[in-house]
Amino acid sequence: MIERNLKDEGESVVILDFGSQYTQLIARRIRAEKVFSVIMPPSSKLDEIKNEKPIGIILSGGPSSVTAEGSPELAADIFSLGVPVLGICYGMQLISKMKGAEVERADHREYGHTVVEVQTGNELFVDTPHSQRVWMSHGDRVITPPDGFRVIAGSESSPLAAIADEKNRIYGLQFHPEVFHTVYGTDIIKNFLLRICGAEPTWGSQSFVEREVEKIRERVKSSRVLCAVSGGVDSSVMACLVDRAIGSQLVPVFVDNGLLRLNEVDEVKKILSEHLSAELVFVDASEQFLKGLEGVTDSEEKRKIIGSCFIDVFREQSEKFGPFEFLAQGTLYPDVIESRSTVGPSAMIKSHHNVGGLPENLGFELIEPLDLLFKDEVREVGAFLGLSDHTIDRHPFPGPGLAVRLPGEVKREDLELLRQVDRIFIDALRRDGFYGEVWQAFAVLLPVKSVGVMGDERTYQRTAVLRAVTSTDGMTADWAKLPYEFLQTVSNEIINKVDGVNRVAYDISSKPPSTIEWE
Ligand code: XMP
C-alpha cells in the first residue's frame, strides 16, 4: 500500500521514521501547511524514496542512540538526491555522524523547555524571534558541527540546538519543532517546506478527492466494487468517495448485527441513502448474531462469534450481488503505519481487536482510498464531500457494538436498557457541548444488581457505568473530567427515566492500564 507510486501525483516530503513517538505529528504538521507528506522506514531503498517524488526529506527523532551499536541507519544515500534534508533530534545526530562529526552520549537526558538564541540570516528561522522557547528530548548530543555546517541556534545547555549546511541545504534541529511546546515550531516547519524545499501549498481535500476519483476510475474501469458500511466516519467517507468515482458500480452493504445503538439503523440508512447514488444494500442479520451469542459469557468468545457471523453475512451478500473484483475499505494511515515494521516505540503494533472487520483473504483486490490520511483529514474530506457535521464528528464505535458494553451474556432486554442509558448520556453530551470535546463516550450496563430506594419503595436494579475519554488515537486515553453538575444531571435523568437502572457510576480509569471498552 505504502509503496504505491506517487509519480503522477505530484511532490511530497518524505519522512524517514526512526521510531519517534512524534513522527505522525511531523506528517500532520506538514499536511497542515497543505504539503503532501509520506512516512517511510529508514530501510527504504533510494528508488523507493525517489518514487515518492520528494522535494525534501525529514529524518525523525527516535529512541536509539547513534553511539550505540546496531542503532538504525539509512539504507539509501539520501544526500545524492540533492533535495533539502532536515534531521530532527536523532535525525540531526545521524546526519552529524554520517558527515563525520563527533556525537556523544550525554550522562543525562535533556528533557523539557529550553530557550535558544537564533542566529540571523538563515532561512529556517525567518520571521521567528531571536530568543525562543523550544522542546528538547534527547540523550545524545553533537559536540562540534560537521565540516561545512554552522551553528544557527544554541543555548547554554544545548550549544548546538540547530545546525545548517546552507550550501547543500542540510539542516539539523536538536529540539522538536513538531511538538506544540516549541513555540515557533510551525513557523520553522513552514520555512523548511516553503522557503527551503520550495513546496507549493496546494494539497487539501479538493486536490485529494479529484486525484483519488481519477485513480479509482482508472483502476476499476467497468468492474464492480463491494464495500461494508457502518455509518462510522471512515467507512462513510470512503463510500462517498468511491461512489463519486464510480456511482452504481459500487455496492455498499450495511449489516444490522442487532448490537447497534438506539435508532442507529434508521439514522445510518437515511444518511447513507442521502449521500450515495449507489443503492444501499441493507441486511437485517440481528437474529443471526443474537442467536449466536445466546448463553455466551466469555468476552473473547463473544468477539469471535460476532466476527465470524459478520464474515458469513458479508460473504452471502457478495455472492448474491456479485461477482465483484474489488473490495473498498476505509483503512486510515495510522493503521497502515502500525501494520508496518519500523523501529522504536511506533513499532508497537496496536492491540486493537479488529472484530467487525474483514479478513484479507476474501479474494478481492483492495481499494483503500483513505490509506494516506489521518482521522482529522478524513473528517475534512467528509465535509468536502458534503457529509453533515453529525456524521463526521461521530465517536468511534467498535465492530462488536454494544456486545462489548454488556459484560457477560448479551441478552435482548439488556440491550434495550443499555440503548436507553446510552442515548440519554450521548444526547446530554451533545446538548451541553461536550460531545466534541471527548474522543469517545458511552454507557456500560453491569450484570450486577444493587439496592436502591424510589419513593417509598426499595428497588433492586442494575448499575450503569458511564465512560468518557479523551485521546488522540485511542491507543492511550484519559478519563474525561466532565463537570460534576453535568454528571449529576445525567445520572438523575437515567435513574428517573430508565426503569431497571437504579445506580450510575462514572469510570475514572485511564488507558493503560485499563482499556477504553470494558471487554
Ligand atoms: P480499547 O477498548 O482496546 O479500544 O481501548 C480502543 C478503540 O478501539 C475500539 N475498538 C474496536 N473497534 N473493532 C473495532 O472496530 C473492535 O473489535 C474494537 N474493540 C475496540 C474502541 O471502541 C476504541 O475506540
With respect to residue 433, please indicate whether it lies within any of the assigned structural domains.
yes
Nearest to 469 by CA among 422, 428, 514: 514
For ligand 1, is residue 440 a contact (CB within 6 Å)?
yes
Q: E strands within 346-436?
A: 365-367
- Lowest mean pLDDT segment, chosen from 253-257, 272-276, 338-342, 461-465: 338-342
| Cβ 16 vs Cβ 173: under 8 Å | no
Q: How much distance in Å is there from the Cα of 466 to the middle of ligand 1?
A: 16
For ligand 1, is residue 472 a contact (CB within 6 Å)?
no
Q: Is the pLDDT of residue 8 over 60?
A: no
- Cross-strand bridge partners of residue 104: 141
- Based on the fold, state whether residues 166 and 303 are members of the same structural domain: no
Ligand 1 atom showing the smallest separation from residue 303 Cα: 17
For ligand 1, is residue 148 a contact (CB within 6 Å)?
no
Percent of the chain with pLDDT over 90: 80
With respect to residue 512, please indicate whether it lies within any of the assigned structural domains.
no
Torsion of CA 441, 447, 448, 449, to 10 degrees: 90
How confident is the model at residue 11, as a pLDDT? 85
Element (H, E) at 442: strand 440-454
How confident is the model at residue 354, as a pLDDT? 54
Ligand 1 atom showing the smallest separation from residue 514 Cα: 5
d(CA 101, CA 145): 6
Q: How much distance in Å is there from the Cα of 402 to the middle of ligand 1?
A: 12
How confident is the model at residue 363, as a pLDDT? 82
Q: How much distance in Å is there from the Cα of 300 to the middle of ligand 1?
A: 13
Q: Which residue has the cell 485511542?
A: 474
With respect to residue 401, please indicate whether it lies within any of the assigned structural domains.
no
Domain of 122, CATH number, reads: 3.40.50.880
DSSP state of 343: S
Give residue 468's pLDDT band: very low, low, confident or very high (50, 70, 90). very high
d(CA 203, CA 373): 12
Domain of 305, CATH number, reads: 3.40.50.620
Ligand 1 atom showing the smallest separation from residue 439 Cα: 24
Letter for the amino acid at 163? I
With respect to residue 63, please indicate whether it lies within any of the assigned structural domains.
yes
Final residue in a domain of this structure, among 196, 220, 252: 196
Report the nearest-CA residue for atom 12 of ligand 1: 398
How confident is the model at residue 138, as a pLDDT? 81
Residue 242, judged by CB atoms within 10 A of its CB (0-12, 13-18, 19+), counts as buried
| Cβ 219 vs Cβ 63: under 8 Å | no
- Based on the fold, state whether residues 237 and 317 are members of the same structural domain: yes
Letter for the amino acid at 310? F
Final residue in a domain of this structure, among 176, 196, 216: 196
How confident is the model at residue 437, as a pLDDT? 96
How confident is the model at residue 476, as a pLDDT? 82
Nearest to 245 by CA among 366, 325, 328, 321: 328
Q: How much distance in Å is there from the Cα of 476 to the middle of ligand 1?
A: 12
With respect to residue 118, please indicate whether it lies within any of the assigned structural domains.
yes
- Based on the fold, state whether residues 185 and 225 are members of the same structural domain: no
- Based on the fold, state whether residues 426 and 380 are members of the same structural domain: no
For ligand 1, is residue 158 a contact (CB within 6 Å)?
no
DSSP-derived 3-state class of residue 443: strand
Grid cell of 245 as nine digits: 468515482
- The total domain count for the chain is 3
Tell which one of 353, 394, 465 to mutate to probe ligand 1, the residue whose CB is within 8 A of the most ligand atoms: 353
- Based on the fold, state whether residues 342 and 416 are members of the same structural domain: no
Domain of 419, CATH number, reads: 3.30.300.10
Q: Is the pLDDT of residue 54 over 90?
A: yes
Over the chain, what is the mean pLDDT?
91
d(CA 322, CA 405): 35
Distances from the Cα of 313 to the Cαs of 149, 231, 254, 281, 462, in angstroms?
Answer: 62, 17, 10, 12, 33
Q: E strands within 214-318?
A: 225-229, 250-256, 281-284
Q: How much distance in Å is there from the Cα of 400 to the middle of ligand 1?
A: 9
How confident is the model at residue 4, as a pLDDT? 36
For ligand 1, is residue 379 a contact (CB within 6 Å)?
no
Give residue 357's pLDDT band: very low, low, confident or very high (50, 70, 90). low
Ligand 1 atom showing the smallest separation from residue 440 Cα: 24
d(CA 354, CA 352): 6
Q: How much distance in Å is there from the Cα of 488 to the middle of ligand 1?
A: 27
- Based on the fold, state whether residues 175 and 268 are members of the same structural domain: no
For ligand 1, is residue 399 a contact (CB within 6 Å)?
yes
How confident is the model at residue 504, as a pLDDT? 98
- Based on the fold, state whether residues 380 and 423 are members of the same structural domain: no
How confident is the model at residue 18, as a pLDDT? 96
Q: Is the pLDDT of residue 133 over 90?
A: yes
Tell which one of 439, 517, 519 to mutate to probe ligand 1, the residue whose CB is within 8 A of the most ligand atoms: 517
With respect to residue 406, please indicate whether it lies within any of the assigned structural domains.
no
How confident is the model at residue 472, as a pLDDT? 80
Q: Is the pLDDT of residue 398 over 70?
A: yes
Grid cell of 102 as nine digits: 563527533
Question: What is the pLDDT averaged over residues 178-196?
Answer: 96
Q: How much distance in Å is there from the Cα of 325 to the middle of ligand 1?
A: 29
pLDDT tens digits, 12-51? 999 999 999 889 889 989 999 999 998 999 999 999 999 9
Report the nearest-CA residue for atom 11 of ligand 1: 398
How confident is the model at residue 191, as a pLDDT? 98
Percent of the chain with pLDDT over 70: 93
- Based on the fold, state whether residues 29 and 132 are members of the same structural domain: yes
Q: Is the pLDDT of residue 1 over 60?
A: no
DSSP state of 247: G
Name the CA radius of gyration of the chain, rounded. 26
Q: Determine the distance from the C-alpha atom of residue 126 to the mean position of all C-alpha atoms in its chain, rounded to a whole number.
A: 32
Alpha helices in 154-258 (DSSP H): 185-190, 205-220, 233-246
- Cα 359-364-369 angle, rounded to 5 deg: 85
**pTM over the 0.85 mark:** no
Final residue in a domain of this structure, among 196, 224, 246: 196
Q: Is the pLDDT of residue 3 over 60?
A: no
Nearest to 469 by CA among 518, 402, 502, 503: 518
- Based on the fold, state whether residues 185 and 231 are members of the same structural domain: no
- What amino acid positions are annotated as catalytic residues? 89, 176, 178
- Based on the fold, state whether residues 70 and 192 are members of the same structural domain: yes
How confident is the model at residue 512, as a pLDDT? 87
With respect to residue 232, please indicate whether it lies within any of the assigned structural domains.
yes
How confident is the model at residue 250, as a pLDDT? 98
Grid cell of 142 as nine digits: 553533537
For ligand 1, is residue 185 a contact (CB within 6 Å)?
no
- Based on the fold, state whether residues 189 and 297 are members of the same structural domain: no
Q: Please give the residue range of the domain that contains residue 299.
A: 205-392
Give residue 256's pLDDT band: very low, low, confident or very high (50, 70, 90). very high
Question: What is the pLDDT averaged over residues 182-199?
Answer: 97
With respect to residue 355, please indicate whether it lies within any of the assigned structural domains.
yes
Per-residue burial over 73-89, b if 16 or more Cβ lie within 10 Å, else e, is ebebebbebebbbbbbb
pLDDT tens digits, 498-517? 999 999 999 999 998 999 99
- Based on the fold, state whether residues 117 and 250 are members of the same structural domain: no
How confident is the model at residue 98, as a pLDDT? 96
pLDDT tens digits, 298-343? 999 999 999 999 999 999 999 999 999 999 999 888 777 655 544 3
Q: Is the pLDDT of residue 124 over 50?
A: yes
For ligand 1, is residue 246 a contact (CB within 6 Å)?
no
Contacts for 414 with CB less than 8 Å, ≥ 6 apart:
406, 445, 462
d(CA 281, CA 251): 7
